[in-house]
Amino acid sequence: MSDRYDGLARLGWTEWFAERETCLPGESLARVAAVDRGLFLLVDQAGEFRARLSGSYRHRLGLEQDAPCVGDWVAVDRRSADESSVVHQLLERRTLLRRRTAGDSAKYQMIAANVDSVMVVQSCHHDFNLKRLERYLVMVREGGADPCILLTKTDLVAPEVLASQRTMLRAAGITAPVLALSNVTREGIDDLEKILLTGKTYCFVGSSGVGKSTIINRLIGRERLRTGHVSATGEGRHTTVRRELIVLETGALVIDNPGMREFGVLAAETGLGSGFADIAALAAECRYGDCRHAAEPGCAVVAALHSGTLGRAHYDNFLKLREESAFNGLTRAEKRRKDRDFGKFIKRAKRDLGKR
């Protein structure tokens, strides 16, 4: 790579970005470390500095997801310490992590960009939820990142409980790496540190109180991120209020996130194929290429369901996420038409019922 990129590799810069970089003369490269009310904390070879969007950028900014988010690379006019720097453009994203916004629109909220791996954190104690985990995995793979599952608070459950949860993950066809750890005993923390590589970016996601910030504090070696006291039930209290990119002493980069229980799926056909690899493999054996895996003849997925080799809950969650993905991928006009058609169907059904 060019000399102008010296020092950026430690922040996650790779040849992929260099091939697509479009900075203009006078602009330099920086990565978004945090976003706070429209102001940006950026980091480059020289360190951290504050910036704002240029007027032309704000003018052409369409949707919220087009604004820089944590993990993004931007072209910036770097100013002096007493003057706010100016962001002029957003560089192409290699991977992204997003979720659907509330309501019936197809808009989405960016969570992080250009992450190499997403660490999906669930507590073995109260938070373990297979359906929610599958939802996370679908969206991680849809955005192009690799998932890793962290099962925390192993000190609060018996070994047989953890073994049962691992069995459930395997039975659901989940192939993502699974690491069990405890912030109390430090079990698994050393193993986690070993898989975090220099120059790679890892985003931690999960519900509130599962120990994401505490894990990152362990990795940092100091209390940079505020964490809440753990209750008598073993559940922590949510304290992370913003996403933040942090460079560890080992050279790995981590992103902490506020807790998220809801993770709306948005047009995630690719993620469904990867997140439900066992069903995708069965689907390849179906008689018809456009099989919906419901009641079609020669459906290998339904056959596996009836034989017991495919779990009912796993299958039902696949259908639910597929339907949600398809619906959220519709335009607003298509959704209105779909609602009208359904309304007409109900009226016909009521009319036919009244004639009997």
Residue 232 has pLDDT above 90, yes or no: no
pLDDT band at 264 (very low <50, low <70, confident <90, very high): low
pLDDT band at 191 (very low <50, low <70, confident <90, very high): very high
Residue 347 has pLDDT above 60, yes or no: no
C-alpha 153, offset from chain centre? 22
Give the pLDDT confidence of 62-113 residue by residue, as tens digits. 777 789 999 999 999 998 777 889 999 999 999 999 877 655 555 678 899 9
pLDDT at 330: 47
For the chain, what are the domain ranges? 3-90, 96-256, 269-348
Q: Which of 155-169, 187-201, 232-246, 318-332 has the lowest mean pLDDT?
A: 232-246
Quick one: CA torsion of 17, 22, 28, 30, rounded to 10 degrees? -40
pLDDT at 59: 86
Homologous superfamily assigned to 269-348: Probable gtpase engc; domain 3 (1.10.40.50)
SS3 109: strand
Judge residue 288's burial from the number of C-beta atoms within 10 Å of its C-beta, 0-12 exposed, 13-18 middle, 19 or more buried.
Answer: exposed
The arithmetic mean of pLDDT across residues 287-291, rounded, is: 79
pLDDT at 242: 72
CATH class label, 3-90? mainly beta
What's the token pair of residue 204? 């931690």
Is the CB of residue 286 less than 8 Å from the CB of residue 296? yes
pLDDT band at 142 (very low <50, low <70, confident <90, very high): confident
Q: Which of 32-46, 106-120, 198-212, 288-302 has the lowest mean pLDDT?
A: 288-302
Homologous superfamily assigned to 96-256: P-loop containing nucleotide triphosphate hydrolases (3.40.50.300)
More confident residue, 300 or 113: 113
What one-character-per-residue DSSP string does 47-66 give? Answer: EEEEEEE-HHHHHH--SGGG
The arithmetic mean of pLDDT across residues 267-271, rounded, is: 52
pLDDT band at 30 (very low <50, low <70, confident <90, very high): very high
